[in-house]
Amino acid sequence: MNPKEEKVKIITEEFIENDKDAGVGRQKKTPKVARQKRKKRLPTTGPEEMVPENLHFNQQGPVPEDSDTRPLSMTSRRGPRSLPPIPSASRTGFAEFSMRERMREKLQAARSKAESTLLQEIPTPRPRRLQSPSEKEMETEFGTEADEEVQRTQKEDDSQSYSRVKFCDSVRKIKPKPVVPPGFPSAEEAYNFFTFNFDPEPEESEEKPKAKNRDGMNQEEEEGEEEEPPVQEHKMDEEELLSAKDDEDFLLGLDHAAEDFVVVRPADYESVHVRLQMEKELLFVPSRLTVPTYKKLPENVQPRFLEDEGLYAGARPEVPRACQNIMENRLLTQEPGRKWFGDDGKILALPNPTKGFPSRPPVLTREQDIKAELETLYKKAVKYVHRSQHMIGSGDPSGNFQLDIDISGLIFTHHPCFSREHVLAAKLAQLYDQYLARHQRNKAKFLTDKLQALRNAVQTELNPAKPHKSLDTTQKAINEYKSEIRQTRKLRDAEQEKDRTLLKTIIKVWKEMKSLREFQRFTNTPLKLVLRKEKVDQKTDEEAYEAEIQAEISELLEELMEEYERKMEGYRASYQQWKAWKKAQRAKKKKKKQAVEEHPDEEMEEPYPGEEPVKPVPPEPTDRALVEQQVRERAAWSRRRPGEPTLVPELSLAGSVTPNEQCPRAEVLRREDVKRRSIYLKVIFNDKEVSRTDSRPLGADFRVHFGQIFNLQIFNWPESLTLQVYETIGHSGTTLLAEVFLPIPETTIVTGRAPIEEVEFSSNQHVTLDHEGVGSGVPFSFEADGSNQLILMTSGKVSNGVAWAIGENGIPLIPPLSQQNIGFRSALKRADAISSIGTSGLTDLKKLAKWAAESKLDPNDPNNAPLMQLISVATSGESYVPDFFRLEQLQQEFNFVSDEELNRSKRFRLLCLRSQEVPEFRNYKQIPAYDREIMEKVFQDYEKRLRDRNVIETKDHIDTHRAIVAKYLQQVRESVINRFLIAKHHFLLSDLIVEEEVPNISSEGSGILGLSLFKLAEQKRPLRPRRKGRKKVTAQNLSDGDIKVLVNIIRAYDIPVRKPTASKFQQPSRSSRTFSEKRAASPTTHSPTHSTDYPLGQVLVRPFVEVSFQRTICHTTTAEGPNPSWNEELELPFRAPNGDYSTTSLQSVRDDVFINIFDEVLNDVLEDDRERGRGIHTHIERHWLGSVKIPFSTIYFQAKIDGTFKIDIPPVLLGYSKERNLIIERSFDSVRSLSEGSYITLFITIEPQLVPGESVREKFDSQEDEKLLQATAKFQTECALKFPHRQCLTTVTDISGKTVFVTRYLKPLNPPRELLDACPNSPQAMEELVARYVSLIPFLPDTVSFAGICDMWSTSDQFLDLLAGDEEEHAVLLCNYFLSLGKKAWLMMGSAIPEGPTAYVLTREQSHYLIWNPCTGHFYGQFDTFCPLKSVGCLIGPDNIWFNIQRYDSPLRINFDVTKPKLWKSFFSRSLPYPGLSSVQPEELIYQRTDKAAAAELQDRIEKILKEKIMDWRPRHLTRWNRYCTSALRHFLPVLERNQGEDIEDDHRAELLKQLGDYRFSGFPLHMPYSELKPLIEAVYSTGVHNIDVPNVEFALAVYIHPYPKNVLSVWIYVASLIRNR
Amino acid sequence: MAEVHVIGQIMGATGFSESSLFCKWGVHTGAAWKLLSGVREGQTQVDTPQVGDMAYWSHPIDLHFATKGLQGWPRLHLQVWSQDGFGRCQLAGYGFCHVPSSPGSHQLHCPTWRPLGPWREQLARAFVGGGPQLLHGDAVYSGADRYRLRTVASGLVHLELGLLLRHFDRYGVQC
């Protein structure tokens, strides 16, 4: 009860009290009784009826409504209604039920109260007391229902009913109070009337239906139950409430009729049995019992089990037995047709469609079962590591991979300790093994059978009894058979012969062995050979033999006949040809005669000596007798004679070995030696020792058993696997016998499946022993006289097995490179072929078949049908199995175009090639949008290059060797460039980000705040110009014409001067040559240009300079005198190839700047002196004096070239001499050291300045010790800190791209023998000759060939093989030669002009040092001012590197004493001693003598080509060759070579003069090393000899090639022009 | 014979919990496609945004394809990585998107995700960095079974691609 209701009650009670107070003498009893009655009555009516009841009341009595009380009563009434007794909000069945229960109880209670009130009318009963009897009654009457709940509700009901009674009272009291109309019954009466009016039950029952109508929902169920109580009540009340009946009748007249309608009946009930009975009639319940099979099958049919018959039945779904029985029973009864039953008497069922495993596993169980491709791996946060070549599968160290190496044993097939008998035994065993193997295969037998079968086949084919085949096919078949017969016979003969020889050899060896055993009177080996004879039937054998021979003869004859026919045909044809040729020849000869008469010039052209066709000889017919003889001979040799028993050798180890005591001393020693020896193996993995076997003693049978398995846990991909066989003798050291290289197993080979293989090894060690042992590598003989010597090397076999290990759960432990190929473990392994054997396994059909067998795949399952078919096809091996797997099968159908068409598109091809940076297309700018706009010829060059890649062309290269070398160089270059292109795409931070240096106060150079701050305060000195740094231009935004090469020609020294007539001039004799004396160009010729005398003021020479670059030619004005000063700036435009100004492109520019010096000669053309007065007719001629060649790459890398260069002047300049020669006589020594040639001062630069490309920073891998590499890095940084501009070199890159420590290149190497023999008594001359030899090897700069790429150093033998290299190679070779000559020599790294950074060679003489330029062969003293070497960075010796830490680096100012640590910082010092690095150079150089004939031939060809070229260059003039002069020059050139172009014999000049006395002569010999033809032609062209257009000019050209060893050729070209003096 | 030219850039990424990001990208095409020019894969720089939360890479993509079929239309797969204060890198998200098939300029937003891993790995990731990565990266774009993975969403990668198509109409493809 909630407080509100309480309050309401209180209020009502107050009302009641008020009423009582106001009540007029009312008896206390009656109200109470009435109250009791009311109380009893109230609950019987449902709460719903309260309102209508009330209304009813009001209608009954004219009761005016009190507005005050009404709401109050309403609330009070509603209170208990709205609050259900049990707190349950919903109107559930329970609530309803409890409500019903309550009502019933209340009814009960009311009834009993009514009774009790009637009984205790007089003694006023206290209402409270009455409760207990009613309770008791309840217990007695409804004991079954009176449980706790009921009691509780009852209590609540009581209180409710109590309150209700109270408020009813109040209502009653309120109502009558205002309604007191006169003439009406008194209050008492009214009260009674009202109260008693309630009691009659019939009214209630009548009202019920009404209520039901109003509120059917709630009342429906109550109806049945509540029907009875009212009736009973009614009965009970009938007698009791008589007085009240009248009132009832008065009120409700209808009540009587209601009683008539209601009929009381017992509840309808059917017994269980009846019901079951009825159900049985209606329902069918199939039996659960098993149905016997015969019922399910048609009569007299036996059940048939398909599975037993081999058909596929499939797995039936699992159904409980009972269910199945029920089903069967039902089917049998309902549908008697039995169509639901199969042949086996079971219900038809499809195979179970459900999968055995869930296709969608719960998410939470992912740890256990996750698909391999979705596997995640926790990776630690790692620092970014640069890609490096060493690591494979970088940063993936998770897997541990294992390689199992099983070394089972070792057998020596030869060992130094072998006795002679052992040697034979080994041989015998080997032969026997071979015999067994052959015997097992028995190929001879097989081939014989085959031959027989083929012959039979031919016979049957030839049989005319088979007419159904067309003749054609038969003939064809027969021919095929016959050719096969021939082949088979050949094979068989060979096999038989081999068999027989083998047998013979075995017997021979065994005999030898026996004789040896007898001879030495002891036995060392248990080997024993038994020959078993197998008798054969003499007669049949003979017959077979004869038949065979006959068959063979006939076949051979047939064959020979065919051959003869063919030959005859060939003969006829060739005879015809020959005849025709003869005819033609005759005609030709006639013609030729005429031709020769017409063109006498052409006679030089010999008719090429083509091979004349030989007159063919007719073949000879064959002779049967001869053939037969041959066949018989062969048969006798290769076959067993008829009737001869077949021999079967059997080798056994049954023999006994003579014990030690009976052996001679030498043998005992041998045996003891064997005992002392033991063997072990080292396992070397990737060149690192990983483990070794135990040391096992060598057995007397020279077998060692190891039986060890090594498990290698590996991280890197295996590259090499080697076993090293070591032998230990006694307690002395071990020796490495041999290395056995094992193949890395395939990934499919895992432990357990790997076969044991025998790998043979042999060693080249030489062992001589002082006992019976035969030793190794030393000759020994079985014969007493020592003839028939044998040299055996230690050899043997290692039996081993290498395989990948298998992990715990069956995963092969194979490195990740191939891991995807290997099956991953999976729970579905057995069900899914792909997961079990991996996708790669699908292509390996054997594996697939094996898997199918293992997993017991049902071959009849239609699901597996394609698989089984595939397997059966594959294993039978009959039909075609595609060895590919099509990835996108449907692709083909949807393709727009075919592959070919796609590839044919020129545009696409061009695009691809450009992006691949193929040289031809690397900088191709715009590619047309349409195919038709692309010319076909774009690809021509490229295709040609591809085609020619492997074809060595000898057209461009006259010398084949050089052609091969050129090809090789080309390939090296390509591969290096490709690597470089890849490396170029790796960028460093500095490539991408330009960061301005932060200004720093202390910094000297670039600081804004530093010293430059003070500069602001400096005085301005406009007259003192300061050099400003030029701005560097990056090459991207340049175009043609933007770049110019500026050549500033300043002056020249010591230009050769024209020579006056020098007939009287005599050269001083030069007997005292010293080292400091250099070649003195002292050409003197006879031919005077001016017939006048040579006065002092006469112009000696009028030189001018012509600079040519990229076909642009500029020249200076003409100056005068031998020391001219031009001071002119020439500007030459520069064009980059393809218009591409990128760094790489510029680096690869191979053009040279040629600076030629000419003498301008004015010739008076007037021939008639009489006309001299009227005009001047002169002819300007220019005579080439010399040249300087500077490669563009040098200019590009150096940015500017500034200095004085030596002019390359030919050793002989006809008509010129050096002015100095005149002075020489006076001051011989003083001048000489100053100038020994002509010099020119130049300044060359590029405008605007370009940024030179950087060399590749790629770090090459190295085989050097890691410590050493660290030391080099440290050394270099230290050096760079002190002297950043000095070159410091510690490691270099070799030709294969590996970093090598530089001292490894230096090692004494022998110069060619011939050079040493040339001047045996003068070491100085020898050195010069050696230097000259080195300089004759052609120069090929690395920077040009490998644009922008680091230097590559080839070893001296590579250098000599390639016959090309740059300064380093030359210097290394020269230094090595000097070292071998016993000199102190160093490689000197420094910078020189014009080369830039370069390598020279420094040698130490007794008192002074000499600096050698290896490329020219010249040498300079340390204090020679004209030495091109300008700075010295470091010196490299064979065992150390010294870095120059002196203040100056000019060779003039430094001390070369490397022992002083203050001046030279050495790499290896006390803290880091020299570890004794082995050299990369070969042991010695082997020189092949150059073929003189080839050189002579080359010489002729060059001469011819050059002559043709000169004629080509003069297209408008006739070129005449002066043969006298040529032959004179030809004699002259070898002399030049002999004297190395330094001295010219006077008599030769005199000879020239004699021969060519009336010619004006200008010419010079050119000398250069031979590399290819093009430079020679260029050189001749650059001299401009051909430019003379005087009409009667004649030319002379002579070529001489002097061959030096190793194909080093020195080429001399003498070219001259002659003009006849009239 | 048709040509597809993809020219554009990987603009940047937003919505990642990590700050210093970089992206590894690659293009995957079918067998019918032929790369005429350009690089198929690359990696951007590390960007640490100072203002805002978008990491800008502006990494150029310049690819030129010739194709003989429509199958295997190029798709970009992306891996966003983050770099922590020690310079260590860890995976921040996988993602992939198709190159658009209509010509013109396109703004793409490629959502990314990363594998979550069991709680131990999550804990380790939170404290010591690193994280689970797919062993087989192709699951990012080929996995029909990807539902098995437990992943967590990471941010978006923004791309700007310009498409030029050529000759598709010749083969009856309208675009």
Mean pLDDT of the region A55-79: 43
Give the closest of B37, B124, B130 to A911, CB-based.
Answer: B37
Mutual angle of helices A148-174 and A3-22, in 10-degree steps: 40
Lowest mean pLDDT among A187-191, A538-542, A1333-1337: A187-191
Least confident of A447-456, A951-960, A1609-1618: A951-960
**Positive or negative, the Cα torsion across A467, A468, A472, A473?**
negative
Calculate how close chain A gets to B2, using CA atoms only, in Å. 8
| Residue A160 φ/ψ, nearest 5 degrees | -65, -50
Across all residues in chain A, what is the average pLDDT?
70
Q: Of A1458, A1402, A1457, give the one whose Cα is nearest residue A1427.
A: A1402
pLDDT band per the 50, 70, 90 thresholds, residue A766: confident
- Cβ separation of A915 and B68 shorter than 8 Å? no
Spell out where A1304-1428 has E strands: 1352-1353, 1384-1392, 1396-1404, 1409-1412, 1419-1421
CB contact under 8 A, A381 and B129: yes
Which of A367, A371, A376 is the best substitution to test chain B (most B C-beta atoms within 10 A)? A376
> CB–CB of A381 and B150 under 8 A?
no
Picking from A866, A814, A817, the residue whose alpha carbon sits closest to that of residue A845 is: A866
pLDDT of residue A998: 66
Provide the strand spans (E) within A357-449.
376-379, 382-383, 401-414
Closest CA to A1146 of A1266, A1254, A1028: A1254
CA A214 to chain centre: 93
CA distance B53 to chain A (A): 22
What pLDDT is attached to residue B92?
Answer: 92
Query: A1009 burial class (0-12, 13-18, 19+ CB within 10 angstroms)?
Result: exposed
Rounded Cα–Cα distance for residues A726 and A710 (Å):
17
DSSP tally for chain B: helices H, then strands E: 2, 10
ipTM of the complex: 0.88
Q: Which of residues 873-932 of A touch B (CB under 8 A)?
A: 887-888, 890-891, 894-899, 901-902, 905, 908, 911-912, 914-915
Report for A71-85, A857-871, A1241-1255, A1407-1421: range of highest mean pLDDT: A1407-1421
* Most confident segment among A846-855, A1364-1373, B59-68: B59-68
Mean pLDDT along residues A1226-1239 = 51
Nearest to B37 among A371, A377, A915 (CB): A915
Closest CA to A1333 of A1295, A1278, A1381, A1298: A1381
Query: Does the pLDDT value for residue B11 go beyond 90?
Result: yes
How far B92 CA sits from the closest chain A CA (Å)? 11
Candidates B37, B84, B132; nearest CB to A914: B37
CB contact under 8 Å between A373 and B143, yes or no, is yes
CA dist., res. A581 & res. A284, Å (int):
116
From chain A, pick out residues whose CB is under 8 angstroms from the CB of B68: 895-899, 901-902
For residue A381, the chain B residues in CB contact (below 8 A) are 84, 86, 88-90, 128-131
pLDDT for B13 equals 94
pLDDT in tens, A1291-1315: 887 777 677 888 888 888 888 888 7
* pLDDT of residue A1416 exceeding 60: yes
Q: Tell me the two tokens of residue A688.
A: 């690192």
Q: ω into residue A1248 within 30 of 0, thus cis?
A: yes
CA A1440 to chain centroid: 40
- On whether the CB atoms of residues A110 and A240 are closer than 8 A, the answer is no
pLDDT greater than 70 at residue B117: yes
Lowest mean pLDDT among A357-366, A487-496, A593-602, A1321-1330: A593-602
Query: Which of chain B's residues have a Cβ under 8 Å away from the Cβ of A901?
Result: 1, 68
Q: Could you tell me if residue B117 is left (phi over 0), alpha (psi between -120 and 50 degrees) or otherwise beta?
A: left
CB nearest A376 (choices: B31, B67, B132) = B132
Q: Convert the pLDDT of each residue in A259-283 to its tens digit.
A: 677 778 888 888 889 988 988 888 8
Give A-chain residues touching B37 at CB under 8 angstroms: 911-912, 914-915
- Residue A1394: is the preceding peptide bond cis (ω within 30°)? yes
Domains and CATH numbers, chain B: 2-171 (2.60.40.150)
How close A904 comes to chain B (CA, Å)?
10
- Residue A692 Cα distances to A706, A711, A724, B11, angstroms: 11, 12, 9, 58
A1108: CB partners within 8 A, 6+ apart:
A1114, A1153, A1154, A1156, A1582
Pairing status of strand A1044-1053 against strand A1125-1133: antiparallel
Highest mean pLDDT among A648-657, A1288-1297, B5-14: B5-14
Q: In this predicted structure, what is the pLDDT of residue A797?
A: 84
Q: Is A429 exposed, middle or buried (0-12, 13-18, 19+ CB in 10 A)?
A: middle
Q: Is residue A1355 predicted with pLDDT exceeding 70?
A: yes
Render pLDDT for A713-743 as a digit per residue (tens, 0 to 9): 776 667 778 888 888 877 777 778 788 888 7
Pick from A235-244, A388-397, B131-140: least confident: A388-397
Q: Is residue B40 predicted with pLDDT exceeding 60? A: yes
- Residue A568 confidence (pLDDT) above 80: yes
Show residues of chain B in contact with A912, CB under 8 Å. Answer: 34, 36-37
- Confidence band of A1166 (pLDDT split at 50, 70, 90): low
Instruction: Provide the pLDDT confidence category of residue A419 given band limits of 50, 70 and 90.
Output: confident
Scanning every residue of chain B, which has its alpha carbon at the shortest distance from the alpha carbon of A376? B134
**Could you tell me if B12 and B57 are in contact, meaning their C-beta atoms sit under 8 angstroms apart?**
yes
Pick B36's closest partner by Cβ from A383, A895, A908.
Answer: A908
Over the stretch A950-972, which tens digit does the pLDDT of each residue have?
665 555 555 666 677 767 777 77
Comparing A464 with A1468, the larger pLDDT belongs to A1468
Closest to A837 in 3D by CA, of A823, A853, A827, A857 = A823
CA atoms of A1180 and A1177, how far apart (whole Å): 10
Mean of all residue pLDDT scores within chain B: 88
Number of C-beta neighbours around residue A1453 at 10 A: 12
